[in-house]
Amino acid sequence: MPATAPFKQRYTITPRPLSGPSKRRPMLRMEPGVRFIVAHDTGNPGSTAANNVTYYERSRDEMSASAHLFVDDREIIECIPALSGAAEKAWHVRYLVEADDRLFGHDANDAAIGVEYCYGGRIDADEAYRKYVWTIACACHRFGLEARQVTGHCFLDPGRKTDPVTGLADSRRSFEQLLRDVAQEIALCTAPDGSDTRPAVVGALAGGTTRVLARVNLRRDYPSRLSPIVQTLTPGTEIRYVRVVENGEAVNGNARWYCDENGNYFWSGAVAA
């Protein structure tokens, strides 16, 4: 049953429906309704949400392949209705695969929203990922789903597809991290009175100075790559910290972050030990 509780609208979803009926947009109502979400990536590094939707429209009568939403660092574009109106079918997973029926009891094209992650090139990976997580969380909330009801294209068609794992790896993220972040985003965006449902930051006061080894982002509010960037530091920069945090987001298996004098966080893996 679709959820009715308020959901925080962090971003704008722009409807840009493909012309139809066409091969890409058959304009068929999704039956029996939305039962799960399939995470994809475009497989075309550097292509933006607008690039992909423009291509889909231009080739709308050439092939039966599509998705509902494309997400990059600037836009979330819905080209087949999913969140802005009654959900329609999109052709984003082959009917011949069996994993979707086995896992969810339905074919993905008949009962799943397809969300595409745009990555690579000049796309800001962190910002695109934030929007991607929020879009999937928004879809889960809209249709009364949980993060465990999100799967990846690669798990449904493993012999042919690697998305979204390939796209996520471009920013050193995993599918397991995506599911954790979607679950957290659902909690954050449905929490009453703006309550913070994230785990409390655990760490000890410890002053010191370290040197940046690779480009590192200072992040506001919380030790996670989902947090807003305050400043980007270049290699060689010295930075003072006042706290060591042991339970930040794990990046390459390392969950240690530092907190600077202004309360901003940076990942320990990008600075001298």
* pLDDT (tens digit per residue) in 91-112: 999 999 999 999 999 999 999 9
First to last CA, the chain: 50
Answer yes or no: do 241 and 128 share one domain.
no
Helices (H) and strands (E) in the chain, counts: 7, 12
User: CA 229, 235, 241 angle in degrees (round to 5)?
Assistant: 60
Residue at which a domain ends, from 193, 222, 241:
193
> Is 198 inside a domain boundary?
no
Range of the domain at 49: 13-193
Answer yes or no: do 160 and 30 share one domain.
yes
Mean pLDDT of 170-199: 90
Answer yes or no: do 77 and 143 share one domain.
yes
Answer yes or no: do 51 and 76 share one domain.
yes
pLDDT of residue 231: 95
User: CA 39, 178, 77 angle in degrees (round to 5)?
Assistant: 45
Residue among 141, 143, 162 at smallest CA distance from 153: 162
Answer yes or no: do 113 and 212 share one domain.
no
pLDDT of residue 205: 87
The CA distance from 143 to 186, in Å, is: 12
Mean pLDDT of 228-236: 94
Residue at which a domain ends, from 140, 162, 193:
193
pTM recorded for the entire structure: 0.89
pLDDT at 248 over 90: yes
State the pLDDT confidence band at 247, using cuts at 50, 70 and 90. Answer: very high
- Which range, of 63-67, 116-120, 130-134, 193-197, averages the lowest pLDDT? 193-197
Give me the CATH number covering residue 230: 2.30.30.40
The CA distance from 83 to 87, in Å, is: 7
Chain centroid, CA 108 distance in Å: 19
Answer yes or no: do 55 and 156 share one domain.
yes
Q: How many Cβ atoms sit within 10 Å of the Cβ of residue 260?
A: 16
Q: How many domains does the chain have?
A: 2
State the pLDDT confidence band at 1, using cuts at 50, 70 and 90. Answer: very low
